[in-house]
Structure 1
């Protein structure tokens, strides 16, 4: 059946003629859905009959569909009295067909499909708004600003395998995510003690999947491959317990899984992140399993993250692809000056990236010492240039392979499965620009930049803060006390409110997000308002009642 279905209309096949031909050849695709993302990261979905689009494809691509702006989360931008918001299709990314396997088309016998088209939000026909447009603009700002820096600082080409900025045909901002999630038997209550013991004994990590979990995982990977989503692997994570076999089936399933993806462009990677979560939920539910992307579904047990990868490459006019983070000699240096500058930019400015990466109550239940979730703003480069290492206790990991220069990238370990990947990537790349400008303008060599990022507490630096440490090769959780972590790496916010306060506590870092107007001030004000609204409602209507119920259940055990 799968070989008869259309899964993707790629970005280079979006002419009116090609779209019409594809949809007419697949009558099981009955609907079109324009998928835009508001400022909080909620995405839209609607069922527009395909015939509406086919009446005038060019007009549909140009004008899209009007929606109710007051129902899209854009506080301070659109409200009930100013609610004209249009969904405008994005023709520069891949479009995927979302199939409903529970609803078969009468004509073809195939599942009914909805063509899911990523879209931008346009307010009052004047301004593009929402998360996707911010990332799109951040990518353009990065490319133009970085090319300018390369032209103004030609010394950097001494550390790159080409001669000048004129050799560059295009800059490629590459990104990927690793999505962790829990699956379980519906309505089962997790046995916290069993989960903790299993975690301590490492009974689950990378172990063989069984029963419906195995079937659902294999089926999910097969489907995602049909979409051309560059799946790298799927595997079990540290959380979970062994399922019980009863009457020929498995019961009391509670397992943590992970699916990893290879690189795409930044905007495509963020679009894929949203689509993949729907595919995972749909497929596991078809096999009788519930799925949660909560950061911390069970207190005291490993939470779920969404490690987010950042890379920058140059496509040269001679056809070569060059990773601009990689050192010219990887056995002599960890990174190029570009790699160091980008890394330092994220580390110095992470306080204003953090609110965009973790903006829900549950996220801060995960960001605690001892569960492989980062609590300190630092990186690890490795114990030597010739031998890469993976320190999983730091915020920003350096992933490199001396035998594969294209593999060099940064892994941000703080985001969780519900993080708004559009905003995380946008903020990360804008922060890189800040560090790149400082490093290149100062004409720093790789050795000098390595010394900067490895500086001791209290040591002056041309860019990084004096009373901070930015590199740690040891175990952050075990080799430092809480007091040492606070002193050396700074305070980790403990609540949504503390996290948002960083916007005001670090005004110079806040300005980094405004570079090139990718984030307009009103965008960040809208984001903050949406977070406060969601946070306060969650406290009032969920957390406080839940804790009140637990308190009321307490019984006196001593006189």
Structure 2
């Protein structure tokens, strides 16, 4: 690490005077980029010469820069005839300097840097970006709890405080980042990857060569940026690399994970966004490709981004309490139970925000430690914290450190919009907390309600559902039992997003505190549906078609057995069903495209499920066909 570089400008140094002093002293920082986050989680990036920024820092911070809102995902908000969006800098978070280590400044002999300034996107005087939505959610949490403390000062007794002692209420979060890394233009056999996964040959083993160097440099850079990395390690997916004649590793194909410390919610989301770029660029310098896709390889473990959240109470004397931690020898406090119940009860309208893409739902299948059911685990006893990895929302507890009590949502993936996901989680948390406080529930009351059996009527949670299980959700329940007890998991983006229509009362919870407005939710939905349909018609079908055409006849007629001929006929018939039109029949692909053109989303969804299943069937049939041939 270059000790002469400045990696972060903290929120305490965002005055015009401090910025001018710091940036003038670091002339290697050549550009400024205002970073706004649209409703799909895309971040803006532009290169503004530092000279222009230094001439009018105050103007920049107040919104001197504008962007074309029709070029980002804000459908129904910023249109071609009303596209102007102002970019207002957020001075309450840290700003990172992004260095181009492949371009050196001739005067200083240091890499050229770009100061990335997180900002809010303002359209017609209203903030319409993901960062602002999360900030509004954390403000809603703080204002709601402060109002409760003012009306019910006895709530603070267990913390030895009075209302006037409260300095702040802070929503905190952290994420874990999983990703696949490989050498460019090389692929691995799925069977080989699957076998290695079952044998657990890669999980937590040593990293080697370029992968080790890239991982270690990433962790060192995270330290330099003040991100406090806690661990980097190999995940379950991958195969052993090959050693070339020059001593370099080739055919790299492995899965990694990086974890780092929590922060307040908005800063945590900013940190994650920056770490993704840091990882991708660092590994690229070592000749390695990185993908953050949730399910890049069928039949092999996907990449998650487990998201942690908690709420802290800060007093004027500096003491800090985790509001989720019990003060009465229970699993959780009333805030913890209430928060957990609020998320679980309303998860049907959170899920479309967490899992908004085709790729994300491919990962959420039984058998890969990916959650498919709306259920939590607390542990068999208060003395033994749970580590059930089959549930959706886990309770993480450290008996020696109450400040570490938090929830871990296991459904997100690296392309989840963390800003919106956290906003939805904290907003629905308050629905449950308000229920607990408003009805003067005790920890024992809430534990009993959370642990209720399906069919048992309670005041808050739904009668026909169960919400807690200490069992293996995949092994100890049948598919029918899981769906009956914990809800049926959506198979497509459409099945997921129509929860906005099916559960209007739950959607209203997201609108509390003006966190998600009707306009924002409609815009988000439009963007999700457009991406879903575009991916199917322009990417998924195209990729499937290439795969189908690669399934070629391999046997010679004179040497083939009857079984080989029969196997090929099954393969060929399925190829035609999927891809080939005739005068009298349409292929499955054509029927999908016709349904898209007609705007028949329900039919598109049904046909997509069939299409994905048929492709998997084709892969299995073609593998069986090939495996029976001697000369391939």
Q: TM-score normalized by structure 1? A: 0.98
Structure 1 residue 96 displacement after superposition: 0.4
Structure 1 residue 151 displacement after superposition: 3.1
CA distance in 2, matches of 1:555, 1:182: 29
Structure 1 residue 167 displacement after superposition: 2.4
> Is the Cα–Cα contact under 8 Å of residues 376 and 393 in structure 2 kept in the other structure?
yes
- Secondary structure at 1:122 match in 2: strand
CA shift digits 1:416-474 (9 cap, x unpaired): 00000000000000000100111111111111111111101100111000000100111
The answer for the alignment partner of 1:87 in structure 2 is: 87
> Is the Cα–Cα contact under 8 Å of residues 11 and 94 in structure 2 kept in the other structure?
yes
- Secondary structure at 1:315 match in 2: strand
> Is the Cα–Cα contact under 8 Å of residues 342 and 432 in structure 1 kept in the other structure?
yes
CA distance in 1, matches of 2:164, 2:443: 23
The answer for the alignment partner of 1:210 in structure 2 is: 208
1:15-34 equivalences under 5 Å are 15-34=15-34
Structure 1 residue 287 displacement after superposition: 0.3
Of the three residues 456, 464, 468, the one matched with 1:467 is 464
CA distance in 2, matches of 1:359, 1:338: 29
Structure 1 residue 147 displacement after superposition: 1.6
CA shift digits 1:252-291 (9 cap, x unpaired): 1011101111110100001111111000000000001000
The answer for the alignment partner of 2:477 in structure 1 is: 480
Distance 1:30 1:411, change over 3 A: same
- Secondary structure at 2:3 match in 1: helix
Within the alignment, does 1:504 sit opposite 2:492 as a pair?
Answer: no
- Secondary structure at 1:283 match in 2: helix
The answer for the alignment partner of 2:614 in structure 1 is: none
Q: TM-score normalized by structure 2? A: 0.86
> Is the Cα–Cα contact under 8 Å of residues 67 and 84 in structure 2 kept in the other structure?
yes
Structure 1 residue 189 displacement after superposition: 1.1
**Count of aligned pairs:** 555
The answer for the alignment partner of 1:326 in structure 2 is: 325
> Is the Cα–Cα contact under 8 Å of residues 455 and 464 in structure 2 kept in the other structure?
yes
CA distance in 1, matches of 2:480, 2:163: 46
> Is the Cα–Cα contact under 8 Å of residues 153 and 443 in structure 1 kept in the other structure?
no
CA distance in 1, matches of 2:548, 2:251: 28
- Secondary structure at 2:346 match in 1: helix
CA distance in 1, matches of 2:302, 2:64: 39
1:44-443 equivalences under 5 Å are 44-124=44-124, 126-157=125-156, 160-247=158-245, 248-329=247-328, 332-443=329-440
CA distance in 2, matches of 1:400, 1:325: 10
> Is the Cα–Cα contact under 8 Å of residues 458 and 468 in structure 1 kept in the other structure?
yes
CA distance in 2, matches of 1:172, 1:162: 18
Please say which structure displays the higher CA radius of gyration. Answer: 2
CA distance in 2, matches of 1:163, 1:55: 48
Bigger relative contact order, structure 1 or 2 (CA pairs below 8 A, ≥6 apart): 1
Deviates more, 1:375-384 or 1:60-69: 60-69
Within the alignment, does 1:519 sit opposite 2:494 as a pair?
Answer: no
Structure 1 gap ranges (5+): none
CA shift digits 1:281-331 (9 cap, x unpaired): 0000000100000000110110000000101011111210001110114xx
Within the alignment, does 1:545 sit opposite 2:566 as a pair?
Answer: no
Structure 1 residue 534 displacement after superposition: 1.0
Structure 1 residue 240 displacement after superposition: 0.7
> Is the Cα–Cα contact under 8 Å of residues 103 and 112 in structure 1 kept in the other structure?
yes
Structure 1 residue 554 displacement after superposition: 4.2
